[in-house]
Structure 1
Amino acid sequence: MRYCLALVIVLFSLPLSAAQLQLELGGTLRPVDSSELLKHPQAREISIPQDVSYKRPMRYRAVPVAALLEGVKADDHLQAVALDGFAAEMPAGPLLQAGPARAWLAIEDPAKPWPALAQGKPSAGPFYLVWTDPQASGIRPEQWPFQIATIRRLAPVEQRFPALLPDPRLAANDPVRQGFALFQQNCLACHRLNGAGDAQFGPDLNVPHNPTEYFRPEYLRMYIRDPQSLRHWPQARMPGFGKDVLSEQDLDALLAYLKHMAGRRP
């Protein structure tokens, strides 16, 4: 009994381990850990009135993302990779701006862990990209990646994954082109298409079959708007895309892109 008590005391006296974030912004890899970031000169307490992941007000110790992006320019392209394979593609411009919407890297203090995202799930930590005044710049939910492990600078999606490109003969104002842009913003973080993409989270949306081929149009729209309204699945991870994120016109364009790509398999 005395031995067990002594062991418990020793375990609780051990320092909690800091998490590490990998920054790949040039030719070198620069790791930073949470203990370092919590003491960063620009770190401060911020309030998020309506957190995208927690669906309620939250407070975080956070550092402006721009403070970590040394050498990155507004026209660069970045990718935030999460522990579960979610890979958010993001233009650097909004991340570098000081306002109106401002990007922050929230850091989970191991001594003060954040709550779980849901029952049986982990927290949004150790690193979570959050925004103050997101509505001022039209920031989308996919621009709030959590459980971030790596932030890296890459070539744009069009250059890295030509298999995603629609037919180059399409007119510049064709809805399919708009749908391709929306696919990058809303779908590519979780899904691949034609085997192209960095995400390891959801299924490929064109191989072996495209959802426009096996869903009736009205049910596919229902599924995108609210996956649980079509089929109940407790382990489902796909979020719904309400009209505040995808307007009806946007959804039409996204579906036009998916249907178009059903005819452009490798």
Structure 2
Amino acid sequence: MKAFLLGAALLLSSPLYAAQLLIDLGSGSHAWRTEELLKHPEARNITIKDDVSYKRDMQYRAVPMAALLQGLKAEDHLQAVALDGFAAELNAGPLLNRKGAQAWLAIEDPSKPWPTLAPDKPSAGPFYLVWSDPAAGHVSPEQWPFQVARIQRLAPVAERFPALAPDPKLAANDPINQGFALFQKNCLACHRLNGAGDSQFGPDLNIPYSPTEYFGSDFLKRYIRDPQSLRRWPQAKMPGFNNSVLPDEELVLLLGYLKHMAGRKQTP
């Protein structure tokens, strides 16, 4: 981890042309340089409508993620780690799609730098995972990691972090397990639960208390839909999850998982 953080710091201070993205699929790894990716045989210019990070239409030079993940199976699990430590958990299946909601790796061209994300902030580069037609796959904002430094194949979340898992007696298709899958997709990139997880951004969602224990149901739903409608402060980073990203029936399943885990607290 120290070596990775040192490498990230060096990358931040290095010229953009020297940026590298490490892709480790378990059977071997490859460090892709910016110039390699810009010249990739499948690289093309794309337009992303209403980009999640820039809040407007954006144009990128990008490579389909499927072209960079050859040999993976749909059931494989990946983690995309950003320079600041943000860690997005991603099922391989959607990343391998070439129709509908399609994932792309956008590459920042050093001769055409992207805009900054905010005043005194860097851009989303040098590498940014973006989606065309994201509504077709209910793609969460947490599945748009920017400033990506590493993409790696890992064991499933429940194997890496048993403290996150619901009661093992529940059937695989139980609504609680469906909510667990939604938690991994929408929440785990920023939050831990029972002290388990890789992220250091948001608060733990079970220790000392689950939000289901101190929020009324309607207010908790409102908070997830529009966080600053209930708590507003300049440094707030949690995005809202609208109905197109997290339909009402999925929100109910997610809250069901959180309520279930409130009864399964484990001290970190």
The 3-state SS of whatever aligns with 2:18 is coil
Measure, in 2, the Cα distance between the counterparts of 1:201 and 1:258. Answer: 18
Residue 232 (1) aligns with residue 242 (2): no
Cα distance per residue 1:19-59 (max 9 Å; x no partner): 11111112544212212211222211111122122121110
Over the aligned positions, Cα root-mean-square deviation in angstroms equals 2.0
Q: What's 2:209 paired with?
A: 209
Q: What's 2:163 paired with?
A: 163
Letter of the 1:105 partner, please give it.
L
Q: What's 2:81 paired with?
A: 81
Measure, in 2, the Cα distance between the counterparts of 1:244 and 1:133. Answer: 12
Cα distance per residue 1:125-179 (max 9 Å; x no partner): 1111112222333333222211111100011112221111111233555432221
Retained in 2: the 8 A contact 1:44–1:62?
yes
Match runs of 1:15-164 below 5 Å: 17-164=17-164
The 3-state SS of whatever aligns with 2:209 is coil
Distance 1:101 1:218, change over 3 A: closer
- 1:182 CA drift (Å): 1.1
Retained in 2: the 8 A contact 1:105–1:129?
yes
The 3-state SS of whatever aligns with 1:36 is helix
Unaligned runs of 5+ in 1: 1-13
Measure, in 1, the Cα distance between the counterparts of 2:170 and 2:90. Answer: 25
Measure, in 1, the Cα distance between the counterparts of 2:29 and 2:187. Answer: 27
Q: What's 1:5 paired with?
A: none
Q: What's 2:199 paired with?
A: 199
Q: What's 1:9 paired with?
A: none
Measure, in 2, the Cα distance between the counterparts of 1:241 and 1:120. Answer: 26
The 3-state SS of whatever aligns with 1:85 is coil
Unaligned runs of 5+ in 2: 1-13
Q: Which piece of structure 1 moves more, 198-207 or 223-232?
A: 198-207
- 1:71 CA drift (Å): 2.7
The 3-state SS of whatever aligns with 1:196 is coil
Measure, in 1, the Cα distance between the counterparts of 2:174 and 2:213. Answer: 21
Letter of the 1:187 partner, please give it.
C
Report the structure number with the largest CA radius of gyration.
Answer: 1
Letter of the 2:259 partner, please give it.
K
Please give the TM-score of this superposition, normalised by the length of structure 2. Answer: 0.87
- 1:242 CA drift (Å): 1.2
Distance 1:130 1:263, change over 3 A: same
- Identity over the aligned pairs, expressed in percent? 70
The 3-state SS of whatever aligns with 1:30 is strand
Measure, in 2, the Cα distance between the counterparts of 1:136 and 1:219. Answer: 28
